[in-house]
Amino acid sequence: MANDKVQQVSDAEFEVKIGSAQPSLVDFWAPWCGPCKAIGPVVEDLANEYDGKVNIYKMNVDDNPVTPGKFGIRAIPTLILFKGGEIVDQITGAVGKAQLVSLIKKAL
């Protein structure tokens, strides 16, 4: 991963990382998913812009099937915004940066 501000998160550590008071945006993705690759650079930009304000995570759904199943994720990319471990909102599909910024602002 080129951007060290975007962290990988696994099923095992998900609850702990997402439970923090700071908002967390989780990008559920897979390496074979074209739209996931398209939205990747946008997610990295957001990690730079919101560094210190929002935690940005990526979860590979192939390697971590438990968490996506828990949240009923059927399509990727799906980005879910959490605050204090609770879902604030989510977006499915390769959306533009403006939509993701407005998503993040809901938790700030």
Q: Tell me the C-alpha distance between 102 and 63, whole Å.
A: 29
Q: Do strands 24-29 and 55-60 pair parallel, antiparallel, or not at all (unpaired)?
A: parallel
Which residue among the candidates 6, 9, 18, 33 is catalytic per the annotation? 33
In what helix (H) or strand (E) does residue 30 lie, and over which residues does it extend?
Answer: none
Which residue among the candidates 26, 36, 73, 100 is catalytic per the annotation? 36
Query: Is position 1 annotated as part of the catalytic site?
Result: no
Q: Tell me the C-alpha distance between 107 and 22, whole Å.
A: 9
Closest CA to 54 of 94, 27, 32, 75: 27
Q: Tell me the C-alpha distance between 27 and 16, whole Å.
A: 17
Query: Is position 33 annotated as part of the catalytic site?
Result: yes
**Active-site residue set:** 33, 36
